[in-house]
Structure 1
Amino acid sequence: MHETGLSEAIVEAAVRRAAGRRVTGLRVRIGGHPVDPEVVTQGIQVAAAGTVAADAAVDLVLEPMTVQCHDCGSSGPITDHLAMVACPQCGGVDIDVTGSDDVVLESVTMANAELGAV
């Protein structure tokens, strides 16, 4: 997954949703392939610079995919890309990979000049 493009798309969606209001927080759910949360958070902060989302707090919820091996019976979260093609325990390729690879902008918190954060 390319964290830069992902971060830019998240910020673009938040800015559209904010419709000119200042964004103070973002909650993003990322499923699927392993990503580095620090890289994604920094990418969002860089992409948000100079926009209404500059300096917004970022809350990432990571939901890794899981692998179930039919050969040895092991199961668990996918922690690297190799686990998507072979079992991390036995190396078997008779596996099922489950989970969503969706990225969802769950919420955008915006400042309201009269009421504080909304």
Structure 2
Amino acid sequence: MHEMGLCDAIVDAAVRRAGGRRVTGVRVSVAGHPVDPGVIDQGFRLAAAGTVAEGASVELVVRPPSVHCRGCGVRTDATDALSLAACPRCGGIDVEAMDAEEVVLESIAFEPAEERRS
């Protein structure tokens, strides 16, 4: 259920920054942790229900973690679970993940404000 907690936090941050305006979309960058975009989309919709972010779209940018092989010295992006356990270059298992988990709410799109009439 890590993803649902992540979605709750994204919605909370968007709603706080919205200041009562209707949110139409958010762009979120996730690094260092594998996430399923479909699960995030569904979780966001559930978390946003009844808020100013209800119906907003989610653009998810997933940055794979990088790993460093202590055996051969190469640093590569971990494209799958195997590359987190063994170096894709030399096959060595003395690898370490280099990136910390990070979630950044990069942007929020709002519904255009109605023009005020005098």
Query: Common fold, TM-score beyond 0.5?
Result: yes
Evaluate the alpha carbon distance shift between residue 83 and residue 33 of structure 1 in structure 2; reply closer, same or farther with a 3 A threshold. Answer: farther
Q: Residue 65 of structure 1 aligns with which residue?
A: 65
Query: Does the residue aligned with 2:34 lie in a helix, a strand or coil?
Result: coil
TM-superposed CA distance for 1:64, in Å, is 1.1
Q: Residue 94 of structure 1 aligns with which residue?
A: 94
Alpha-carbon RMSD: 2.3
- Taking the TM superposition and a 5 Å limit, the aligned residue runs for 1:46-85 are 46-71=46-71, 76-79=76-79, 83-84=83-84
In 1, are the aligned partners of 2:18 and 2:110 still within 8 Å (CA)? yes
Q: Which amino acid aligns with 1:64?
A: P
Q: TM-score by structure 2 length?
A: 0.81
In 2, are the aligned partners of 1:33 and 1:81 still within 8 Å (CA)? no
Query: Does the residue aligned with 1:112 lie in a helix, a strand or coil?
Result: coil
- Taking the TM superposition and a 5 Å limit, the aligned residue runs for 1:1-118 are 2-71=2-71, 76-79=76-79, 83-84=83-84, 86-87=85-86, 89=88, 92-114=92-114
Larger Rg: 2
Aligned residues: 114
Query: Does the residue aligned with 2:58 lie in a helix, a strand or coil?
Result: strand
Q: TM-score by structure 1 length?
A: 0.81
Larger deviation, residues 100-109 vs 18-27: 100-109
Alignment partners' CA distance in 2, 1:73 and 1:110:
46
Query: Does the residue aligned with 1:20 lie in a helix, a strand or coil?
Result: coil
Structure 2 unmatched ranges of 5 or more: none
In 2, are the aligned partners of 1:28 and 1:59 still within 8 Å (CA)? yes
Alignment partners' CA distance in 2, 1:13 and 1:36:
20
Alignment partners' CA distance in 1, 2:87 and 2:48:
37
Among the aligned pairs, what percent are the same residue?
Answer: 54
Structure 1 unmatched ranges of 5 or more: none
Alignment partners' CA distance in 2, 1:42 and 1:88:
34
